[in-house]
Amino acid sequence: MYDTKVALARTRGDVMRTLRFASKFLLGVLGIVAALWLVGASFALSRWAGFVLLAVVAIVFYSTVPRWLGWLPGILVFGVVNSLLGLVTHRAPTNPGVVVSTGVAGLLLAFYAIGCIVSYNYDATRLSGTDRLALLVYLFCMIWPAFAPNNLATVTPVVAWSTSIGMAVLIASFASHRARATKKTLR
């Protein structure tokens, strides 16, 4: 009888923990959708209102980096897989009618793979301001090409610049992060 009560309590606890996680996840997704909708609406209203709202969103992302850094590699894996499929098939996996050049697929593969590897190896408890800023720049570089005319058949300057800047900033920040961590362990 006692074992049944204990097992039932554990099962209830697992169910409640799963429901709490699912509700937090859904609230996060709804928050992101609402923030994107508000940014679009504010830019439609006024450019200044849009930039002010973008600044507020950037501040929120900057202050919450340790919370979402653990999820970033899991999300970027999808970018790696899509880039690999684009490299092999020369088609966008989400839209097979779009032709993807080898150069674009290779750049995106490097961009997402570096982001995935670096964000997985960051120590979220010891992030400096530079590390947080580098992650924000990387995220900005990820969405930057979405605001430009899409042409995945050739490497456009927008894609080349955004991927190059994002990778360079993230690698430089990670190198300094590792150097600080190594320096502290040697003391």
Q: What is the pLDDT of residues 12-31, one digit of tens each?
A: 777 788 888 888 778 877 88
Which of the four pLDDT bands, split at 50, 70 and 90, describes residue 85?
very high
Which of the four pLDDT bands, split at 50, 70 and 90, describes residue 2?
low
Q: Using one digit for the tens of pLDDT, what is the confidence trace for 46-77?
A: 888 888 888 888 898 899 888 888 888 988 99
pTM of the complete model? 0.77
Which of the four pLDDT bands, split at 50, 70 and 90, describes residue 116?
very high
Tell me, what's the pLDDT at 187? Answer: 65
Residue 21, H or E segment: helix 2-45
pLDDT at 9 over 80: no
Tell me, what's the pLDDT at 3? Answer: 60
Whether 82 and 94 have beta carbons less than 8 Å apart is answered as yes
Burial class (CB in 10 A: 0-12, 13-18, 19+), 113: middle
C-alpha atoms less than 13 angstroms from C-alpha of 156 in its C-beta half-sphere: 13
Closest CA to 135 of 161, 113, 115, 108: 115
- Rounded to an integer, the average pLDDT of 103-108 is 90
String of DSSP letters for 55-111: HHHHHHHHHTHHHHTTTHHHHHHHHHHHHHHHHHHSEETTEEEEE--HHHHHHHHHH
pLDDT at 96 over 90: no
Tell me, what's the pLDDT at 107? Answer: 92
Amino acid at 89: T
Q: Which residue has the higher pLDDT, 93 or 187?
A: 93
Q: CA–CA separation, 81 vs 114, rounded Å? A: 13
Tell me, what's the pLDDT at 22? Answer: 83
Instruction: Identify the sign of the CA torsion 140, 143, 148, 153.
Output: positive
pLDDT at 7 over 60: no
Whether 58 and 43 have beta carbons less than 8 Å apart is answered as no
Residue 179, H or E segment: helix 157-186
Which of the four pLDDT bands, split at 50, 70 and 90, describes residue 4?
low
